Amino acid sequence: MTQQPVRIGLIGTGRIGQVHAASIAASPEAVLSWVADPFIAGASAVAERYGAIATESAEQLIASGEVDAILIASPTPTHVDLIEASVRAGLPVLCEKPIDLDIARVDALRPLIAASGVPVALGFNRRFDPNHASARARVRAGEIGALEQLIIISRDPAAPPAEYIGVSGGIFRDMTIHDFDMARFFTSDDRIVAVSATGARTFDAGAREHGDFDTAVVTLQTESGAIVTIVNSRHSAIGYDQRMEAFGATGMLQVGNPQQNTVVLSNGDAVEARPPYPEFFLERYATAYAAELGEFVRLVRGEPSTSPTFDDGRAALILADAAQRSAETGATVGVEL
């Protein structure tokens, strides 16, 4: 028997909210039912585009009785309260990262999540990128032997506005947090025990203004001795740079950047020249967002799901906090994950 689409209430209609709205609209298993944003013009525009109901009030959306699940894409400081309200209403949640900038608030919410039995998923969409997922499955299958080194490169095309950096929680909580989750995704059978980070203010005035870093390298060590190296930059002249290398006892797996096209130019000035990488994260991870939504729908329906959990979000924030402390003090920070 065909199941009814899951009715989703979307909270937040900024850039990432609009990405999720489009994914919901494109899915045969979900429907965008309500949209909430205190900036009602944004909510109304998204609701009109996809046939939903708009409201300024997230509380009204949650209490409407016309949604089966909540997708939180609002600013980070709102996440904890919205997760709590949704869980108390018995509504499964998919929340964008991070859960919060303060681990104490995350830990205060944790007992309610555990006791409620209401599913809470975190928006670590890169787990669902087909290439990353394939590489991880092949590592777990033993194709390269025991994992010894994992290198994750993540560089954005350009730094965000200074005002965003001021409220973002810094590069480790805002940007590297995806890479921390990816590190845990690949080393899921091997606990991370130590974090060492170096940050620099190389080029971005916003980072200097707010005491953040625009360039960073993080080293994670696991209990077995495997080393994860994360390389970050807030700018990249070659486009959105997302690469990975898994090196093991018997081989190596590499995930490269997608090409905008397969045309290659050779002439008197260059040989085998290709266009830059895509400039926008959605171009790189469109398939991942669709797969992320599909897994969340299965979670809502009580089916087996690989959606990242609340505790996955907590662990990534613990690593981000440790990296921030290490970059500020120069000390290696021990963790227990």
Classify the phi-psi angles of 14: left when phi > 0, otherwise alpha if psi is within -120 to 50, otherwise beta: beta
CATH code linked to domain 127-289+314-334: 3.30.360.10
Q: Which pTM was predicted?
A: 0.95
- Domains of the chain, by residue range, sit at 6-118, 127-289+314-334
Mean pLDDT of the chain: 96
Distance CA(153)–CA(245), nearest Å, equals 9
CATH superfamily of the domain spanning 6-118 = NAD(P)-binding Rossmann-like Domain (3.40.50.720)
Determine the pLDDT at residue 337: 86
* Measured CA distances, 15 to 19, 47, 161, 176 (Å): 6, 15, 14, 19
Q: Each residue of 28-81: pLDDT tens digit?
A: 999 999 999 999 999 999 999 999 999 999 999 999 999 999 999 999 999 999
Q: Each residue of 135-149: pLDDT tens digit?
A: 999 999 999 999 999
Q: Each residue of 91-111: pLDDT tens digit?
A: 999 999 999 999 999 999 999
Asked whether residue 193 carries a pLDDT value surpassing 80, the answer given is yes
Distance CA(1)–CA(74), nearest Å, equals 35
Asked whether residue 273 carries a pLDDT value surpassing 80, the answer given is yes
Q: Report strand pairing: 30-36 vs 241-248.
A: unpaired
Asked whether residue 313 carries a pLDDT value surpassing 70, the answer given is yes
Distance CA(259)–CA(277), nearest Å, equals 6
Task: Tell me if residue 246 falls in helix, strand or coil.
Answer: strand
Mean pLDDT value of segment 319-332: 98
Asked whether residue 1 carries a pLDDT value surpassing 80, the answer given is no
Asked whether residue 281 carries a pLDDT value surpassing 80, the answer given is no
Which range among 59-73, 110-124, 276-290 shows the weakest confidence by mean pLDDT? 276-290
Mean pLDDT value of segment 221-247: 96
Confidence tier at 241 by pLDDT (50, 70, 90) = very high
Determine the pLDDT at residue 93: 98
Distance CA(337)–CA(333), nearest Å, equals 13
